[in-house]
Chains A and B, each alone.
Chain A
Amino acid sequence: DAGVTQSPTHLIKTRGQQVTLRCSPISGHKSVSWYQQVLGQGPQFIFQYYEKEERGRGNFPDRFSARQFPNYSSELNVNALLLGDSALYLCASRWGFGTGETGELFFGEGSRLTVL
């Protein structure tokens, strides 16, 4: 079975531009979350989506937005790019959205964004 797939794998943008990153979850997984990993740091939570609705948001500015489609794939958009947005953007999926606990996440290989 295919794992979580992300595209593009690498991209270079300039300051002020906009970027869209894409994620397809594991078949059957209905929940997708996005993380930003700056070089040398651990991943930081950006968003979680379940059944096309935003269910959680991290401490990121409004320049960051996301959505989930009926097939459970997801897009992360970042507007007005800053140099500090350079990072590995990771998508993770899991099956459900149970109460009380976040279990194992399945990560994609990430999209490495460089902002010049």
Chain B
Amino acid sequence: SQQGEEDPQALSIQEGENATMNCSYKTSINNLQWYRQNSGRGLVHLILIRSNEREKHSGRLRVTLDTSKKSSSLLITASRAADTASYFCATDATHGSSNTGKLIFGQGTTLQVKP
């Protein structure tokens, strides 16, 4: 079962515009990660934010985390056609000393950036 939901399911913008994707989850987490997937290929890790962090930046990416609302957002600034892909949030809900290495993924947001 999926941990949470992503919103919107699909997003279409023009090159140069900003893209914002949201992710909600259900249980307490250690961290939340964002991944990118091009056309049903492998996933590429973008950024990880821990439960005690509120905001993190990496290049044109900005991630926020609100643990009280169990939600996160990914902002891609100055988007490019090459940013066209599906974006997934994933939560690490491991608790205790055992670590199953399990990430729980959302259903993803499909982003299209038009040149």
Q: Which residues of A are at the interface with B, using a C-beta cutoff of 8 A?
A: 4, 31, 33, 35, 37, 39-45, 48, 50, 55-59, 88, 90, 92, 94, 97-110, 112
Is A101 touching B102 in the complex (CB atoms < 8 A)?
no
* Chain B contact residues: helix, strand, loop or mixed: loop
Closest Cβ–Cβ distance, residue B42 to chain A (whole Å):
4
Is A99 touching B97 in the complex (CB atoms < 8 A)?
yes
Please name all residues of chain A whose beta carbon is closer than 8 Å to the beta carbon of B77 when the two chains form the complex: none
Q: Does B79 count as interface, using CB distance less than 8 angstroms?
A: no
Please name all residues of chain B whose beta carbon is closer than 8 Å to the beta carbon of A98 when the two chains form the complex: 99
Is A48 touching B100 in the complex (CB atoms < 8 A)?
yes
Is B104 touching A45 in the complex (CB atoms < 8 A)?
yes
Residue A90 contacts which of B42, B48, B97, B102 (CB distance < 8 angstroms)? Answer: B42
* Contacts known (A33-B101, A58-B102); A100 close to B94, Cβ less than 8 A: yes
Q: Does B60 count as interface, using CB distance less than 8 angstroms?
A: no
Q: Does B45 count as interface, using CB distance less than 8 angstroms?
A: yes
Q: Does B103 count as interface, using CB distance less than 8 angstroms?
A: yes
Complex: A101 Cα to B106 Cα, angstroms: 19
Is B101 touching A42 in the complex (CB atoms < 8 A)?
no
* Contacts known (A99-B97, A102-B30); A45 close to B88, Cβ less than 8 A: no
Residue A101 contacts which of B1, B30, B42 (CB distance < 8 angstroms)? Answer: B30
Pick 14 A–B contacts, CB within 8 A, sort by A.
A33-B102, A41-B2, A42-B2, A50-B101, A56-B99, A94-B101, A99-B97, A100-B30, A101-B99, A102-B94, A102-B99, A102-B101, A103-B31, A103-B92
Is A88 touching B40 in the complex (CB atoms < 8 A)?
yes
Please name all residues of chain A whose beta carbon is closer than 8 Å to the beta carbon of B90 when the two chains form the complex: 42
Q: Does B107 count as interface, using CB distance less than 8 angstroms?
A: yes
Q: Does B22 count as interface, using CB distance less than 8 angstroms?
A: no
* Contacts known (A42-B105, A42-B107, A97-B99); A59 close to B41, Cβ less than 8 A: no
Please name all residues of chain A whose beta carbon is closer than 8 Å to the beta carbon of B108 when the two chains form the complex: 41-42
Complex: A112 Cα to B31 Cα, angstroms: 29
Complex: A48 Cα to B100 Cα, angstroms: 7
